[in-house]
Amino acid sequence: MAKPETQRKPRFATSSDIELKSYYTAADVAADTDRTLGAPGEFPFTRGVQPTMYRGRFWTMRQYAGYASAAESNRRYRFLLDQGQTGLSVAFDLPTQIGYDADDPMAEGEVGKVGVSISSIHDMATLFDQIPLGKVSTSMTINAPASVLLAMYIAVGKRQGVEPKDLRGTIQNDILKEYIARGTYIYPPGPAMRLITDIFKYCAQEVPHWNTISISGYHIREAGSTAVQEVAFTLANAIAYVQAAIDSGLNVDDFAGQLSFFFNAHNNFLEEVAKFRAARRLWATIMRDRFGAQKPNSLKLRFHTQTGGSTLTAQQPENNVVRVTLQALAAVMGGTQSLHTNSRDEALWLPTEESVQIALRTQQIIAHESGVADTIDPLAGSYVIEHLTDEIERQAMAYINRIDQLGGALRAIEAGFVQGEISDAAYAYQRAVEHNEQIVVGVNQFQTQADLHLSRLKIDTSIEMEQCQKLAELRQNRDNSRVSELRTQLEGAARGSDNLIPYIVACVDGEVTLGEICNTLRGVFGEYQPNVGI
């Protein structure tokens, strides 16, 4: 029988090592709190980016999903939409994420394993079969080949009779965090940043309701950062993207309204609520004071949240339902625009339909039964919340200033500064768990020997062969002389200075595959080789 843990730790602090007093009073809150709070929908947006927030409409319930073939994933999307999901979020397999077709030798053994396999426009059409792209917004977690997947989405929309100007959604398109924490990069930083700014320019004219980037703190947090580091490094990356776009000739107010963000929600409830509020306030000030943005939409930090994958435990997986509920509630109390709730079994395998349904129901219960969405920023004015908001903002800004001194986010990444700070934080957390200074229920306290009784989703290994056969048929039946001509045009544009997105859109329409497009660009740009040291 598990023994109850009665001895509390002698020091109380958040994940970012912000020490907590036993209680707070008005004296602990900044004197100008009324100014920094403001009203919802008004600068500095501490209380939310919309004047009505969830009283107008709930956040988008956008469950992240994708596995095996396009047809299998399509069935899961339609199931989720039938269950009340209000937006789609696509997970791609590893070959797709790093720009290889399913029949490439580099893809062997990985097709369809951690997401859906997409190699051609035909796969993309199957993925969204019977899903009206003019009515549903779609988020795609894709970075290095983001331009190709966006082009495919535009092409599928046109086949459905939906013009690009009517499409709504997001591509992650955040390459800097790939160099920091995730690793699904292809090209060196220079060409990668060119593709990102080309997308900014293209979408500003052609796909105006599309979020051209989702600047991601999620993976930074999954790599082990603290909450303060998550905010600081995400916004430092965002500063780099905005500066690159301005340097390419764009006016800040022409693209800033199409920027979005992606944050993690972890278990320290009060710190997480404060983190979201601090991030909004900090970004509004940066955009106004550093970049001279004038439009209100340019100042708004709009973000998607996903509950913390790294907090899920394989031990006693039912406990993950409680963790996810707390994390989702923190995201809602912090004012998220969109939310994915992880499934209880994701520490073990791809989630089953039953687990996904529980995760979605968690959001729906918070929305419809808890009452927390009936008033805006319900924790505002709490002494501890305002103190934590101020302190996270202060510490995150100190990090941003340090990164500026190093020459900006890219230089700080190349110097290993960002990675080193995350590594130190991850080590400190793991050490605290191993020394029982941080209790993880079911892992280092309250363990049981109960057998696991969850059903498991299994991926059919024949998917790889089926995908290869489809590609063989495509290459046999398409106009290959046209494919060759399109690839030559793309190569020429890559060697010059033209915006590459129209060429990629033409390639997709001409049945050039994802891998062929990415390989054409590899031939010009090369591949990124990180500096590896011990």
pLDDT tens-digit series, residues 270-292: 999 999 999 999 999 999 999 99
Distances, alpha carbon 76 to alpha carbons 64, 70, 120, 270, 475, in Å: 10, 10, 20, 34, 29
The whole model's pTM is what? 0.94
Structure tokens at 27: 């004296």
492 or 456: whose pLDDT is higher? Answer: 492
Write out the two tokens for 8. 């509390």
Each residue's pLDDT tens digit, 495-521: 999 999 999 999 999 999 999 999 999
% pLDDT > 90, the chain: 91
> What is the tens place of the pLDDT at every residue in 358-399?
999 999 999 999 999 999 999 999 999 999 999 999 999 999
Does the pLDDT at position 160 exceed 90? Answer: yes
pLDDT band at residue 34, thresholds of 50, 70 and 90?
A: confident
Q: What is the mean pLDDT of residues 176-198?
A: 96
What is the rounded CA–CA span in Å between residue 37 and residue 389?
A: 10
Q: What CA–CA distance (Å, rounded) separates 404 from 416?
A: 14
249 pLDDT higher than 50: yes
CA angle 145, 150, 153 (to 5 degrees): 130
- Residue 7 has what pLDDT? 60
Is pLDDT above 80 for 240?
yes
Q: Give the whole-angstrom CA distance, residue 104 versus residue 253.
A: 42
For the chain, give the mean pLDDT.
95
Q: Residue 504: which of 528, 486, 484 has the closest Cα?
A: 486
Quick one: DSSP state of residue 140? E
Among 270, 272, 268, 278, residue whose Cα is nearest residue 232: 278
Residues contacting residue 471 through CB under 8 Å, at least 6 positions apart: 101, 102, 103, 119, 120, 513
CATH class in words for 26-434: alpha beta
- Evaluate if residue 4 carries a pLDDT over 60: no
Evaluate if residue 1 carries a pLDDT over 60: no
Cα dihedral 437, 441, 444, 446 sign: positive
Torsion, CA 411, CA 414, CA 418, CA 421, rounded to 10: -130
User: Is residue 264 within a helix (H) or strand (E), and if so which, with residue range?
Assistant: strand 259-265
The pLDDT assigned to 533 comes to 54
pLDDT band at 5 (very low <50, low <70, confident <90, very high): low
Residue 449: Cβ-neighbour burial (10 angstroms; 0-12, 13-18, 19+):
exposed
**Would you put residue 28 in left (φ > 0), alpha (ψ -120 to 50) or beta?**
alpha
Question: What amino acid occupies position 94?
Answer: L
Question: Domain residues of the chain, as ranges?
Answer: 26-434
Return the amino acid letter for 93.
D
Average pLDDT rounded to a whole number, residues 24-46: 87
Q: How far apart are CA 362 and CA 342, in angstroms?
A: 10
Closest-CA residue to 18 (of 7, 6, 28):
28
Structure tokens at 189: 């930083």
| Nearest to 507, CA basis, from 524, 496, 521, 497 | 521
Q: Cα(364)–Cα(367) distance, rounded to whole angstroms?
A: 5
Confidence at residue 9, expressed as pLDDT on a 0 to 100 scale:
60
| Residues 406-451 pLDDT 10s | 999 999 999 999 999 999 999 999 999 999 999 999 999 999 987 7
